[in-house]
Structure 1
Amino acid sequence: MLFKLSMSGLRSKYKDYIVLLAGLVMSISIFYMFQTLAMNKAFIEANAMIGPIQFVFYAGSVLLSIVTFFYILYANSFLLSLRQKEFGMYMTLGARKNKITRLMFMETVVIGLISLVIGIAVGVGLAQVIGSMLMKELEFNSDGYHALYLPSLIVTAIFFTALFLISAIMNTIKMLRVTVLQLVHADVQTDKIAKRGKKTVFAAILSIILLLIGYASMIFMTYLQQLGVIIALITITSGTYLLFMTFLPLIILAMKRNKKRIEKGLNAFTYAQLNFRINSLTKVLATVTMLIALSAGSITAGMSFKNNIMIMVDGADYYDVTLHNPTKAEKELLASIPFTEQKEYRYKVSDKGIYYLKDDLMNHPPRIMIRASKEDFGKTKVPDAELPTGAEIRGEKNDKHGPQMPNDWYEAMEMIQPYYVYKGERVIIADQQMYDRVQGKEGVALLGKSDQFDAHLSTWKQIDAMQKSKLKLTSDQYINTKYSNYTSFRAFSAGTVYMGFFLGIAFLAMMASCLMFKILTGASKDIHRYEMLRKIGVRRELLMKSMYKELFYVFLFPAIIGIIHVLIGMEMFSFILVHPYFRVWLPILIFLVIYAVYYFITVQLYRGIVMPRKK
């Protein structure tokens, strides 16, 4: 009988459980997908490029597991508060407390297992689709990759089963400490009004100090490194909670005392509603703010890595291609590319070394990258120093008594004569007379620069493959060309983009669940207030406008602080990315659109409770 009553109670709260299941399924499926992409050993061994991506997905799994742990505890505590009065009624009718706690324990575990099964099924689908997309993006071998991967399934099942058991135990302990009278009157307890005094002033000042310390640690992440992450995590989280607990009630109170604002429409009722419930919302809104920061930050950081690929590649290499003695096939490929700049340098190879003709170098000097500071990244210059005849670089038999090679020309010659072409050979600068006396095979080094490197990726790939074949190098052997640098940047960035996007979606689902839980659980208390206003003649349209405005403020404050966290937090990546804020508006806009959709859904659900349509 008790089991039937419990099932009836579950059905009556099915909307709340659907919200919980949505957040759980999303987090479980993404956790499983990350594990699958990171743990496929055969797949990883077949692709050396996957190394940095493996670390990215492991890091994403750790972050997701930490946030999910607190989300499950938080969500289950909300669901317990929904059922408190129901459990109290069962106990007044004769049900024993140990049976109620046992039943609640089983409910929590069963809901968790249902979400685990659905989440793994969705995760397998995501792993298949996203894995295929990732392999296509990075163009590597798919041998050994399996979307349904047993080790990943076991890790996911063990981790989330343990989480659900811990959550069930904590709910049981909480239930054992509550009296029957408290359970029966759970929905009529008044919200506590926080008293403002010296402690509040101290907490407000402390919140600002903590946030400033956290922001400073993110800005100077280059120097603090791992310590900066730990400091930011502690100070920003605690500072955000203190900020909402101290400043938000004051902001709402100031809005309520604004006479011009209060006298318009139902603003008096709207701000009174906010002022009445704000103290019970502060911790929830602080939690939502941190989830917004994680969600929007994950999406923004992922897309920032993608947007910086070409910035990093162009900043590392000015010329798109460096070729020695191009073959007929290579010349045909080069002819298909509209070069804006081409330079050729003649040289002779003898048993004493490689002699470059000084006149070619001085008459058509190559451009080199300026590497003085981060502000100069991507800028180029032409070596302006005189190139001494007889100067040389590289090789084991360098003449230490010869003229010194200027630094700019040394860098230029390192670019013209890459290490993988002639390893260990002396490279000597020769004037026309010296060059004519050298007995050896003549060659030519070609440098080419086009308008859009990324518009001819397939051509660069073919040229790299031909170079390896011509130099008798293996296909997996790394050569320092612009295309190889591009593939390396893209490999790391692609994994970060996918991880950021799906972490963002998971955190967004958790954020929406937490906010919906808190708003909808308190909706039953507002029913009689809206009924009273309708009875005294307030139009339904005005009530709807008040409802939209009230929930808009509830959604607005976390969004503002969360976006501020994200914008300052992007400085964390300044030591990795050249322009972390490049096109930052796009992911922020995507997040705000999704956030707005959640807002309208929540308003509709809330309206359905407090103002149901007449049949």
Structure 2
Amino acid sequence: MSLLDLTIRNVKRNFRLYTIYLFSMITGVIIQFTFSSLMYNQDIMDALQNRDIFQTGVAIASVVVFMFIIFFILYANSFFMRQRKKEFGMYLLYGLNERQITMMMFYETIFISAISLVTGILLGGLLSKLFGMLLMNLMQYDQVISLSFPAQAMVSTAGLFLLLAIIISVQSYIMVNRVHLTELFHAKQKSEKPVKTSASMAIVSLLILGMAFALISSGKGSIFWLDYATWSMIAVTIGIIGGTFLFFRQFAGWLLQSVSRRKKYHEGNTVLWTSSLRFQIRGNTLNLTFISLFSAAIMILLCFMTINYKVQFDAVGRNLPNDIAFQSMDKATNTQIDDLITRSRHKIIFHLTAEVIEASRVTDMHVAVDNPEYYTPGVLLVSQQTYNELISHRDDKQNVELQGNEAVTLSQGSDFPKLYEPGEQPSFTVKTDTERTFKLIEKKDYAYLGWATDPAESMILKPAVLAISDEAYQELQAHASQKSFEIYGLQDAKNAEVLSQQVHAIVKMTPGAYYSSFADVYSKQIESSSLMLFASGFLALIAIFALASVIYFKQLREATDEKLQYAILRKIGVDNREMKSVIRKQLLFVFLPPLVLGVLHSWFIIKYYILDSVQDFPGLTGVVWGIMGVYFLIYVLFYISSTNIYYKIVNENH
């Protein structure tokens, strides 16, 4: 009998195991082909404003996706190999060597890969249309996506899975060569020893986790993060990872040990579901720690990208509040630009000429704005009347009422906007041809002019602007350098890329002239945030499959190993109802703690380091809880599925 014949017989004999492995491979092909085909879909390319950025982003994300797929499939192959150790022992006993067994495994891998590629590409092509439509919807583009099977995507997917087949063969060869013959025959007979636990170490695990949560909840404005950021980060990392590990290693073991010492321990089925868990603590610690941290990482990634996407539509408007704004030129140039805008398909909603005073700062800019490195060196002073006139057109309800030396600093993007109480108002001194000190009554998270932009380079720097009283402005006006800006409000400004390029070309003929356009940034920001959300959704999908494989294969292996114990329970009179109850309780102890810790880890980080930074954007907390709710539902489905599979395996020969 040839190795090929033996391979075919193996597939027939171990059909259930091969079905699980084949499902893993097909899933990997579907995800890889679906994602990479988006990069070559002509309908998507035609809709995009920034094709090069999109293709670069998809290429980078494709590498990350493939790395996840490698982990997912190698874990499945590792389980597959462990389940067949006894079979390999028989082959070695009958005279086959490690090289021949590895070659047989290579034939199997090529056979499974071929089936996976054909099936996965067909299904992936169908899904790519669906996901392409979803991507266009995220970008708010009205583009029809046709069904396509790009040759480049098929070739790249086939090449990557050929590479994966070689990696799998190397893994199989290493696993076969590292195990002795006697070990192969007794691979399923090894038993775990219960971990030594203590109440003190159980308490330590809770204290370490509590320390991490306390540091996180102190907020990034606390002394821990302002003055000791590096040490705080180290402490939180150690607290979350080390605390989670000790929680499962010590606290869970101590809890089970405490249950076993209760007087009513032998009543009901408590002894049946706890005794097995005590012996599995050692083997399950790393798995449960991984599941908790992995779950937290999935939720943080997806919540962060969803929040980033949600705020982009409003954030671009906050960063660039003017549809088109530029420094006033000579009369002929201003007229040329006005005629160009008037002739465009973008109707002018309003047009203002805003006059400001140029000044240099004397006081440190940190007093007036956050992140002063993002601002131009000088300071622009705008009168209350001029400021409020523009605000009335925006309908933003950000009007100011000032008198004397009062001023409001416009620090758009500020993490800590503040309305100062009387007596706590900081002083800020500027200089024209004379120095003038103002009392800052408020630091607003708001922009008057917005970032200077470039159609190619996007955002550059933004002007520092102080709104001052009309009285102070008139006093400074007589002996200060002045500048004016042309500010336009346009209809359908988000699609004014071509108009912006034309206006920008005229303005930039004057070196150093200020220019800002909403359209220069909108398409880049929305397309990039949509792509990041889409890619993170794909990564979360793969991560969930990987997590499912870890849980599923672990329970499948443990159920297979415990068939004898459950057969004995049945012989001593334990009925099916009681057995299902034992399995549900045993698996609940495995599923619930990682879910709870994963949700706690992710919620603390999201709440205090993401949501607290975007408090002005409504509805985001509901979005976060929605994502966590979906993840909880998926996890419940994992639990129900695992209990059913576990029960079927232990009752296989009944």
Same fold (TM over 0.5): yes
Are 2:258 and 1:254 equivalent residues in the alignment?
yes
- Alpha-carbon contact 2:249-2:282 (below 8 Å) kept: yes
- Alpha-carbon contact 1:46-1:143 (below 8 Å) kept: no
Residue 308 (structure 2) aligns with? 305
The residue matched to 2:562 in structure 1 has which SS? Answer: helix
The residue matched to 2:196 in structure 1 has which SS? Answer: coil
The residue matched to 2:614 in structure 1 has which SS? Answer: coil
Are 2:325 and 1:286 equivalent residues in the alignment?
no
CA distance in 2, matches of 1:309, 1:560: 31
Distance 1:226 1:171, change over 3 A: farther
CA distance in 2, matches of 1:606, 1:473: 66
- Alpha-carbon contact 1:241-1:286 (below 8 Å) kept: yes
Greater shift, 590-599 or 24-33, is seen at 24-33
Distance 1:487 1:539, change over 3 A: same
- Alpha-carbon contact 2:494-2:519 (below 8 Å) kept: no
Distance 1:472 1:484, change over 3 A: closer
The residue type paired with residue 492 of structure 2 is K
Are 2:492 and 1:461 equivalent residues in the alignment?
yes
Which structure 2 residues correspond to residues 133-282 of structure 1 after superposition, within 5 A?
133-138=134-139, 148-187=149-188, 189-193=189-193, 196=196, 244-260=248-264, 262-282=265-285
- Give the CA deviation at 1:274: 1.4
The residue type paired with residue 183 of structure 1 is L
Q: Quick one: percent identity of the two aligned structures? A: 22
Residue 631 (structure 2) aligns with? 591
The residue type paired with residue 191 of structure 2 is D
- Give the CA deviation at 1:512: 0.7
Residue 498 (structure 1) aligns with? 534
Distance 1:244 1:359, change over 3 A: closer
Residue 448 (structure 2) aligns with? 415
- Alpha-carbon contact 2:49-2:523 (below 8 Å) kept: no
CA distance in 2, matches of 1:114, 1:302: 35
- Give the CA deviation at 1:469: 8.7
Deviations 1:7-48 (CA, angstroms, capped at 9, x unpaired): 444344434433333344334433344444457899779844
CA distance in 2, matches of 1:485, 1:596: 42
The residue type paired with residue 448 of structure 2 is M
Are 2:648 and 1:608 equivalent residues in the alignment?
yes
The residue matched to 2:309 in structure 1 has which SS? Answer: helix
Distance 1:194 1:116, change over 3 A: farther
- Give the CA deviation at 1:526: 2.3
Deviations 1:464-509 (CA, angstroms, capped at 9, x unpaired): 749949985789x997466766545432321122112121111101
Distance 1:263 1:144, change over 3 A: closer
Deviations 1:96-138 (CA, angstroms, capped at 9, x unpaired): 5543232123323433443344444444444333234323543
- Alpha-carbon contact 2:195-2:282 (below 8 Å) kept: no
The residue type paired with residue 184 of structure 2 is L
CA distance in 2, matches of 1:229, 1:162: 38
Greater shift, 565-574 or 603-612, is seen at 565-574
- Give the CA deviation at 1:400: 5.5
- Give the CA deviation at 1:511: 0.9
- Give the CA deviation at 1:406: 10
- Give the CA deviation at 1:63: 3.5
- Give the CA deviation at 1:283: 2.7
Which structure 2 residues correspond to residues 476-495 of structure 1 after superposition, within 5 A?
480=516, 487-495=523-531
Residue 423 (structure 1) aligns with? none
CA distance in 2, matches of 1:60, 1:447: 38
CA distance in 1, matches of 2:307, 2:494: 29
CA distance in 1, matches of 2:317, 2:23: 43
CA distance in 2, matches of 1:98, 1:357: 84
CA distance in 2, matches of 1:320, 1:469: 9
CA distance in 1, matches of 2:10, 2:245: 34
The residue matched to 1:582 in structure 2 has which SS? Answer: helix
- Alpha-carbon contact 1:345-1:357 (below 8 Å) kept: no
Residue 536 (structure 1) aligns with? 572
Q: Work out which structure has the larger RCO, using CA pairs closer than 8 Å and 6 or more positions apart in sequence.
A: 1
CA distance in 2, matches of 1:362, 1:135: 38
- Alpha-carbon contact 2:197-2:250 (below 8 Å) kept: no
- Alpha-carbon RMSD: 5.8
The residue type paired with residue 75 of structure 1 is A
- Give the CA deviation at 1:369: 8.0
Q: What is the TM-score with the length of structure 1 in the denominator? A: 0.69
- Alpha-carbon contact 2:296-2:601 (below 8 Å) kept: yes
CA distance in 1, matches of 2:145, 2:35: 16
CA distance in 1, matches of 2:543, 2:575: 38
Distance 1:414 1:112, change over 3 A: closer
CA distance in 1, matches of 2:437, 2:495: 33
Distance 1:357 1:590, change over 3 A: closer
- Give the CA deviation at 1:603: 1.6
- Give the CA deviation at 1:591: 0.9
Residue 583 (structure 2) aligns with? 547
The one of 559, 576, 601 aligned to 1:523: 559
CA distance in 2, matches of 1:159, 1:207: 44
The residue matched to 2:32 in structure 1 has which SS? Answer: helix
- Alpha-carbon contact 2:88-2:101 (below 8 Å) kept: yes
Distance 1:94 1:526, change over 3 A: same
- Alpha-carbon contact 2:86-2:184 (below 8 Å) kept: yes
Deviations 1:266-317 (CA, angstroms, capped at 9, x unpaired): 1110111211323222233333334323433333233222333355356546
Residue 69 (structure 1) aligns with? 70
- Give the CA deviation at 1:419: 7.9
CA distance in 1, matches of 2:636, 2:353: 63
Unaligned runs of 5+ in 2: 329-337, 356-381, 393-397, 401-407, 454-468, 475-483, 509-513
CA distance in 1, matches of 2:525, 2:613: 11
Distance 1:55 1:285, change over 3 A: farther
CA distance in 1, matches of 2:227, 2:574: 60
CA distance in 2, matches of 1:319, 1:283: 54
Greater shift, 321-330 or 66-75, is seen at 321-330
CA distance in 2, matches of 1:312, 1:412: 11
- Give the CA deviation at 1:51: 5.7
- Alpha-carbon contact 1:285-1:558 (below 8 Å) kept: yes
Distance 1:15 1:103, change over 3 A: same
- Alpha-carbon contact 1:50-1:491 (below 8 Å) kept: no
Q: Tell me the number of residue pairs that the alignment of Structure 1 and Structure 2 aligns.
A: 560
Deviations 1:508-534 (CA, angstroms, capped at 9, x unpaired): 011111211111122223223223323
Name the structure with the higher strand share: 2
- Give the CA deviation at 1:589: 0.5
The residue type paired with residue 558 of structure 2 is G
- Alpha-carbon contact 1:523-1:610 (below 8 Å) kept: yes
Residue 111 (structure 2) aligns with? 110
The residue matched to 1:524 in structure 2 has which SS? Answer: helix
Are 2:332 and 1:296 equivalent residues in the alignment?
no
The residue type paired with residue 305 of structure 1 is N
The residue type paired with residue 621 of structure 2 is F
Residue 560 (structure 1) aligns with? 596
Residue 546 (structure 2) aligns with? 510
CA distance in 2, matches of 1:35, 1:253: 51
CA distance in 2, matches of 1:222, 1:485: 32
CA distance in 1, matches of 2:631, 2:646: 22
Greater shift, 517-526 or 313-322, is seen at 313-322
- Give the CA deviation at 1:593: 0.9
- Alpha-carbon contact 2:292-2:598 (below 8 Å) kept: yes
Residue 463 (structure 2) aligns with? none
Name the structure with the higher helix share: 1
- Alpha-carbon contact 2:249-2:281 (below 8 Å) kept: no
The residue type paired with residue 547 of structure 2 is M
Distance 1:445 1:142, change over 3 A: same
CA distance in 1, matches of 2:120, 2:144: 25
